[in-house]
Amino acid sequence: MRWELLNSEIIYRCPIFALRRDLSRSPRGGAPWNFHVLESSDWVNVVPLTRDQQVVLVRQFRHGIRALTLEVPAGLVDPDDHSPAEAALRELREETGYEARDVAPLGAIHPNPAIMNNRCHMFVARNVELVGVPQWDGTEELVVETVALADVPQLILNGSISNALTVVAFHLLDLRGRGRAQALVPD
């Protein structure tokens, strides 16, 4: 079922992703087809929980849908990050002003394997504490909010939380809390 790669070229590059065009041969009929793939560094999402089970979230404008979203802190794994866990702690501090001593992995997923090559690593940070002001980059304009963890399912069901990667992070947190899941890390 694997397609033979005949040619691959980067046709566009920007700071966040590159667009790659692959010419591949069908294993069934032998015909060549062009496929377009967004290449990106891996991403991280972190579910930050305070001691009293409040979730620290960020509300921000998303250009793809031209609307505000409510999400967990997230971002790219930077070249300077030694690991996805380190990136998650950095993103938590930069976007919210909260810190945690460490994070526990919830799993990793492929956000959209049909057109993307990266993974999103999901973490939970427990007992987070506010230690300062956020350190946003030039394109971030966020509002930091806290909501009770118990209220998250309703926020997902009513569409207040609609970012798919945030929904997956909460689902993995729920599965781990119920003891129904082992490490969900795709190859």
Please state the domain extents for the chain: 4-39, 43-177
Local confidence band at 180 (pLDDT 50, 70, 90 cut-offs): low
pLDDT of 6 strictly over 50: yes
Q: What is the mean pLDDT of residues 11-35?
A: 96
CB 46 within 8 A of CB 81: no
pLDDT of 23 strictly over 60: yes
Which has the minimum average pLDDT: 37-41, 99-103, 135-139, 155-159? 135-139
Q: What is the mean pLDDT of residues 19-36?
A: 96
Per-residue tokens: 14: 């920007």
Q: Smallest Cα–Cα separation from 35: which of 80, 76, 5?
A: 5
* Half-sphere exposure (Cβ direction) of 119: Cα atoms closer than 13 Å: 10
User: The pTM is what?
Assistant: 0.90
In this structure, what DSSP letter does residue 79 have?
T
Residue percentage of the chain with pLDDT more than 90:
86
Instruction: Give the homologous superfamily in CATH for domain 43-177.
Output: Nucleoside Triphosphate Pyrophosphohydrolase (3.90.79.10)
